[in-house]
Amino acid sequence: MRVVYRGLAAIGLVVAAAATLVAVLPSGPDEVAAGPVTAPPAAPSSSGPAPSTAASSSVEPSSEAPPSASPPPTAEATPSPSLSLAPGYTAMEALYADPRVPKLTGRIKRMSLASPTRKLVKDERIGLAVPNLSKPWKSYGAAPFTTKQVLPKTRAGVRGMFVTCPLPIMRQKSPRNTALLAARWTLNHHPKGSRITWIASQPVKHGWMLVYRVKYGKHQSRAAVVVMDGGMSKPGLAFVTVPDSQRKQWRDIGRVVAGVRVLG
């Protein structure tokens, strides 16, 4: 009888184990496939918890995936007539690209300079002295310049102006090129659409001078710049312009360019 009971007990254990195995295994192959597929958890970061393992981040990119396309090449910037420079261009290249400023050739002649006047205005900020022009010129509020002389206002609202200031543009290796850039800068103080025509170009002591016409519509001004090194951190600029409505004072332009000198 003991042998029979032991046999029945062994059979009972086998049946129980089989029932347990049936309960653990899935009823069909689709139960696992239908569940969400997740990527293996990433290694925990030393600075924080491991990233989420959501289904959207489970599929890793193939190593054979084509590289992303490079961005299309952009159009090459060109110099602009404005004061700002296009990337990659020098100040002189921008000048040569400006249709308002013609090329300064060797055909441009020198002009004979008048005797400098004894009446001077001293601009210690730039280390230069400039002519103190007689009536109808008069001193006026200088800002944003350091000295300023003007002619009376006209009906057209324009008038002659003679100013000095530290060089407002980048200094070039050549005084001539520096003066060219300064002349281009002065177009900011003429009516819109102004264009330059050269009259004279020549060296002066410690610098360079340019005399030119500025045409705008049916009118024009005569103007000049003198760039001179007065021993300060930046060279000095003397700039004079007189409209055709005050053409009697065009003769003063010669006095200006002849009279600029270094202090001392």
* Per-residue model confidence as pLDDT tens digits over 74-127: 333 333 444 455 566 799 999 999 999 999 998 898 988 878 788 999 999 999
Give me the amino acid identity at 262: V
Tokens of 125: 């900020």
Question: Any residues with CB less than 8 A from the CB of 97 and at least 6 apart, and which?
Answer: 78, 79, 80, 81, 89
Higher per-residue pLDDT: 241 or 107: 241
pLDDT value of position 68: 42
Tokens of 79: 């110099």
pLDDT value of position 177: 96
pLDDT value of position 82: 46
Q: pTM of the prediction?
A: 0.67
- Considering the chain, what percentage of its residues have pLDDT values greater than 70? 67
pLDDT at position 190 over 80: yes
User: What is the residue-wise DSSP string for 34-93?
Assistant: TSPP-PPPPPPBTTBPPPP--GGG-SPPPTTPPPPPPPPPPPPP---SSSSPPTT--HHH
Beta bridge partners of 150: 138, 161
Q: Across the beta sheet with 207-216, what order do the strands follow? A: 138-139, 147-150, 161-166, 236-243, 219-228, 207-216, 195-204
pLDDT value of position 159: 94
pLDDT, tens digit, 9 for 90 and up, residues 25-83: 333 333 323 333 323 333 343 344 444 433 333 333 344 444 444 444 333 333 344 44
Across 159-175, average pLDDT: 96
Tokens of 147: 């000295």
pLDDT value of position 89: 78
pLDDT at position 15 over 80: no
User: What is the residue-wise DSSP string for 203-259?
Assistant: EETTEEEEEEEEEETTEEEEEEEEEE--SSSS-EEEEEEEEGGGGGGGHHHHHHHHH
pLDDT at position 201 over 70: yes
Sorting pLDDT into bands at 50, 70 and 90, what band is 219? very high
Annotate 232-251 with b (16+ C-beta within 10 A) or e (fewer).
Answer: beebbbbbbbbbebbeebee
Phi, then psi, of 69 in degrees rounded to 5: -70, 140
Sorting pLDDT into bands at 50, 70 and 90, what band is 264? confident
pLDDT at position 160 over 80: yes
